[in-house]
Amino acid sequence: MTPLVVAATAAEAAYVPEGLATVITGIGKVEAAAVTALAIGEHRPDVVLNVGTAGALRTGMSGIFLPSLAINHDLDAPSIRALGAEAIDEVAIADGDGSVLATGDRFVSDAALRDVLAQRAGLVDMEGFAVARVAAAMGVPARLVKVVSDTADDSALDWPDVVDGCARQLGEWLAQSL
């Protein structure tokens, strides 16, 4: 297997095992999509592994998740469809754990927004949907590996203090799974 590890920040990828092709996309869906597409073209992987942190949208969620579905939570897909255009706002991911990841360009640190998103998903990030969508469009399987860093409320602002511990968990998962 030839994996490509994709992370938004160097901090999240700090403990990726040596020898794995790894790219840092930057934060947000546009950066994630652009860099992932270029990296797939360059590396020709058998699988794309998007590793990173996520906020928990529901009480009691902790640890590592492998989402089965990624949704683009800040795309107004119903309005776009009403105009007669296609709007892809969900990507199914094989071999996931049944969890749902909501991805959007808005950093979720507001409990009210968290509660709205929790009606559709259990986790939230800013890149997963974009990475999964690009991989699917390019015919490469993707797997999202997300570790809970916060509860998608004002605790999300503590991300710089917890990212190293989260990155260690992601590195351990990669070392054990590949």
Burial class (CB in 10 A: 0-12, 13-18, 19+), 93: buried
Q: What is the mean pLDDT of the chain?
A: 96
Give the closest residue to 142 by CA, choosing from 178, 98, 94, 175: 94
Please give the tally of structural domains in the chain: 1
Confidence band, pLDDT 50/70/90 cuts, at residue 1: confident
**Per residue in 103-154, pLDDT tens?**
999 999 988 999 999 999 999 999 999 999 999 999 999 999 999 999 999 8
Report, as an integer, the average pLDDT of 24-46.
Answer: 98
Report, as an integer, the average pLDDT of 77-90.
Answer: 95
Segment holding 168, helix H or strand E: helix 159-177
Residue 145: which CATH number? Answer: 3.40.50.1580
Cα 168 from Cα 12, distance rounded (Å): 8
Cα 150 from Cα 13, distance rounded (Å): 18
Residue 169 has pLDDT above 90, yes or no: yes
Cα 124 from Cα 150, distance rounded (Å): 10
Domain that holds residue 79: 3-177
The DSSP bridge partners found for residue 65 are 146
Q: Coil, strand or helix: which one is 18?
A: coil
Cα 15 from Cα 174, distance rounded (Å): 9
